[in-house]
Structure 1
Amino acid sequence: MSITIADVAARAGVSKTTVSRVLNGKGELDLRTAERVRQVIAELGYVPSARAVGLARGRTRIVGMLVPSLTWPWMGEVLQGAVDVVESEGYGLLLFTCNRGEESMQQFASQVSAQSFDGLLVIEPEGTLAYIEQLHSRGLPVVLIDDRAKQPLFPSVATTNRAGGEAAAQHLLELGRRHPLVITGVDWFGCTQERLDGFRDTYAAAGVELDRRLVFEGDFTHESGRKGVQKALDAGLRFDSIFAHNDLSAGGAIQAVRETGRNVPNDVSVVGFDDIPYAQHTEPPLTTVHQPMRQMGQVAARMLMSYFGGQPLPEEPKVLPTTLIVRSSTAPVTARQSLRPAGDDPSPLTEH
C-alpha cells in the first residue's frame, strides 16, 4: 500500500498540517519536530504528492522531463533551452531518463502517480508514445520535443527534417556533386525517412536518380559513418559526396575518406545534420543542417508555462525551420574525379 501524509503524521506524532509545513518549508516549526518528521519520511519511503507539497500554493511548480538518455549528442542543448524558460518562471525541472529500461519507467510512473510535477516535457524513449498519450488524455499536460514525424495526439515541437534534406541536396548539386553516398539514421525513425525523402526528391528534380547501392542505414554513431564509407569502398562504388544524417556519422565518414588519401572537400564533399558543437571541430569543419535544438526546448517549455498561466495548449504541432550552415567540408567540383576503393587507380571515375 502507498504511504500517505497521514501515515507520516501518525508515525511522527504530529498533525498532517505540520507534515505539510515541513514539506513546503513554510511556517515556524520547532527544529527537533521538523527533523523528526523528515526522518519518518525517509524511514517510510514517503513520496510527497503535488497536493502535499503544494498544499499552500496549489501547484508543485515542478516540470517533469522524460528523455531516453543524456548521451545523445544534442540532448544538452534541448535541456538547456527548457531550463532557461522553466527557471526564469520560478519552476524547477525534474529529469527522468530510461537508462535502465523498464526499471526506469516504473520509477517514472511512480512519480506520475504521486503527482510530483505539474506538466511533462518528453523526448520520447522508444516504445513509450502510447503511454505518454494516455497520461495526456488523463489530464497531465504534455509537450513532445522532436516528434520524429510521429505526429502524436498531444502538443509537440518539431523541426523541418525534409526541408533539411532538401537543403543538403541543393547545396551539393550547386557544387556539381551528382554522385552522393547517403548514410542514413535508424530506419524506423520518421526523421530518417523525411531527411532521405527530401534529399532524394531534390536530386530527382535535378534529373539525378540516387543509386540505391549508395544508401546505407546507419545508427547516428561515428562508427556507422566509417562503416558506410567502407562498405561503399568494398563494393567498388563511386561517389563524390556524402550526406550523413547526423554530425557524428558525418565525422566518421570524413575520417574514413581521409584515411584513403583522398581530400575532403575537394575529392569528396561531406554534409551532416544537427550542427552540434562537434561540427565546428571536425577536420575540416563540417557543413551541416542546423536543428534549433535549444529553441525547441525553449518553445516546448513556454507552451507549458503558458498553459499554467491559463492559455490552452496548441492543437497543431509547432515546427521550427532548419538552416544549412556551410563550412569547409564542401567545395565545388574542380576535377573529374571521385572516390574509389583504396589501391585502385586514382584516375577520375565520374563524368560531370
Structure 2
Amino acid sequence: MPITIADVAARAKVSKTTVSRVLNGKGELDESTAARVRKVIEELGYVPSSRAVGLARGRTRVVGMLVPSLTWPWIGEVLQGAVDVLETERYGLLLFTCNRGEESMRQFGAQVSAKSFDGLLVIEPEGTLDYIAMLHARGLPVVLIDDRDTQPVQIPSVGTTNHTGAGAAARHLLAVGRHKPLVIAGPERFGCTVQRLDGFASVYAEAGHPISPERILPGDFTIARGFQAVQAAIGSDVEFDAIFAHNDLSATGAMQAVLDSGRRIPQDVAVVGFDDIPMAAHTQPPLTTVHQPLREMGEAAARTLLAHFEGSPLPNRPTVIPATFTVRGSTGPSPHNDHS
C-alpha cells in the first residue's frame, strides 16, 4: 500500500495539517516538530502527490495544450517547441485533441473545472474560439498559437507573417521568370488562406501580372486535393509555368500531378509550398517553401505563459515571428532560359 500523509502524521504524532504545512513550507512551526516530521517522511519514504502539493500551493506546475489533432503535419514541431521550454522549467504538459468532437471538448471542460492545469496553450480547434475566449475572460491564462490571423484581440497570441511569406514566394517566382502561376489555396474559412492569397496576388499585380480567378484553385491542405487541383487545371488547358501551394502537402500532391503529366520540375513548372515541414526537404526534387517558424512559435507561447505565472502581464498584442524563405530544387529559371 502506498504511504499516505495520514501514516506520516500518525508516526510523527502530529496532525495531517502539520505534515502538510511542513511539506509546503507554510506557517510558523516549532523547528523540532518540523525536523521530526521530515525524519519520518524520510524513514517511511513518503512521496507527496505533486497534484496535492500543487493544490495546496494553488499551482499544479502543469500547462494544458488544446490542439485540433496530432495528425496535422506541423503540429509536432510546435508541440516540441512548447515542451522544450516547459520541461526545462520543470512543468508538465497535459495534451488534449478534438478528434472526437463534442465528447473531446466535454472531457477537456471537466479538466478545466478541476483546475488540472495553471494555463492553456491553444492551436485553435475549429468552432472553439468563443469557448476559449470565455475561459480566458474568466481568468484562465491562455495563449493562442495561431496560423490563421483570426484571433480575437483580447487573447494573447503567437503567429507568423503569412502575408509577407506569400509575398516572398511571389517575388522569387517572378525573379526566375514565372509569369503564369497557379495558386492552390487553403480552406476559405481560415484567415491564413486569405493572407497568403492576398500576399501572393498583390506582388504579381504590382509586377503587371494580375492573377485571374481561374488560376486560383480551391484546396484543403491535403496531398490528394493538391494532386486533383493540378490534374483539373491540366485538363482544362490553363497555361501555367509555376504553382504556389498554400501548404507543403498540397505542393507535394501538385508536384506528383505535374510529373505524371510528363512535365519537368523545375524546368517546365516551378513549385513553391508553405510551412517547411520536415518532409519538404525530401520530395523529388526538394521543395522550395516558405518556412514557418513552428518550433519557435511553440517556444514563444510557452515562455509567454510561464512569464505570466511569475507575475508578468500577458501581452495585449500578438507576438509575431517572421516567416523566412527556403529555396530548394523545385524552383529554377523559366523555360525560355533553359536550352537543355
If the length of structure 1 is used for normalisation, what is the TM-score? 0.82
SS in 2 for 1:236: coil
Please tell me whether residue 248 in structure 1 is matched to residue 249 in structure 2.
yes
Q: Quote the Cα distance in structure 1 between the aligned partners of 2:66 and 2:201.
A: 34
Say if 2:233 is the partner of 1:237: no
Q: Do the aligned partners of residues 235 and 18 (structure 1) sit closer, same or farther apart at CA in structure 2, a change above 3 Å counting?
A: farther
1:54 partner SS: helix
> Aligned to 1:335, what secondary structure does the other structure show?
helix
Aligned twin of 1:333:
334
Question: Which whole-Å CA distance do the structure 2 matches of 1:106 and 1:85 have between them?
Answer: 28
Alignment of 1:141-156 (within 5 A): 141-152=141-152, 153-156=154-157
CA pair 307-267 structure 1, distance change in 2 beyond 3 A: same
Q: CA RMSD in A?
A: 2.8
| Change beyond 3 A, Cα 1:31–1:111 | farther
Note the 1:2-17 alignment, pairs <5 A.
none
Q: Letter of the aligned partner of 1:150 in structure 2?
A: T
Aligned partner of 2:73 in structure 1 is 73
1:137 maps to 2:156: no
String of CA shifts for 1:129-163, please: whole Å, max 9, x gaps.
00000000000000000151113221000100000
Q: Is the 8 A contact 1:147 1:156 kept in 2?
A: no
Q: Which residue in 2 is equivalent to 1:128?
A: 128
Change (3 A) 1:19 1:288: farther
Q: Deviations over 1:260-305 (max 9, x none)?
A: 1110000000000000010000000000000000000000000011
Q: 2:41 aligned with 1:58, yes or no?
A: no
* Whole-Å separation in 2 of the counterparts to 1:20 and 1:135: 31
* Counterpart position of 1:173: 174
Distance change >3 Å, CA 256–CA 315, structure 1 → 2: same
Name the aligned partner's letter for residue 191 of structure 2: G
Whether the 8 Å CA contact 1:63–1:121 is kept in 2: the answer is: yes
Percent identity, aligned pairs only, is: 65
Report SS of the residue matched to 2:330: coil
1: CA distance, partners of 2:312 / 2:326: 36
Find the aligned partners of 2:151 and 2:74 in 1 and give their Cα distance. 21
Q: Give the match for residue 109 of structure 1.
A: 109
Equivalent residues in 2 for 1:1-352, closer than 5 Å: 52-152=52-152, 153-335=154-336
Q: Return the letter of the residue paired with 1:106.
A: R
Give the counterpart letter for 1:102 in structure 2. E
Shift, 1:57, TM fit: 3.3
Q: 1:53 to 1:103 in 2, by over 3 A?
A: farther
Task: Name structure 1 gaps, 5 residues minimum.
Answer: 1-8, 10-14, 39-47, 338-352
Cα 1:97/1:202, change in 2 over 3 Å: same
Question: Take 1:147 and 1:182, find their aligned partners in 2: how far apart are those partners?
Answer: 19
The one-letter code sitting in structure 2 at the alignment partner of 1:65 is M
Q: CA deviation at 1:93?
A: 0.5
Alignment-mate amino acid for residue 149 of structure 1: D
More deviation in 288-297 or 225-234?
Answer: 225-234
Question: How many angstroms does 1:20 deviate by?
Answer: 7.6
Listed one character per residue, the Cα deviations across residues 220-277 of structure 1 (whole Å, up to 9, x for unaligned) are 0101110110110121111000000000110111111001111000000000000001
Any runs of at least 4 consecutive aligned residues in structure 1 with deviations exceeding 6 A, and if so which? 18-21, 29-32
User: What is the letter of the counterpart of residue 223 of structure 2?
Assistant: H
Kindly provide the amino acid, as one letter, of the partner of residue 323 in structure 2. T
State the secondary structure of the residue aligned to 2:198: helix
2:124 partner amino acid: E
SS in 1 for 2:217: strand
Deviation at 1:174, TM superposition (A): 0.6
* Whole-angstrom CA distance in 2 between matches of 1:184 and 1:171: 18
- Once the two structures are TM-superposed, the CA of residue 214 in structure 1 deviates from its matched residue by 1.2
Check the 8 A contact 1:81/1:298 in 2, yes or no: yes
Give, in whole Å, the separation in 2 of the partners of 1:124 and 1:53: 31
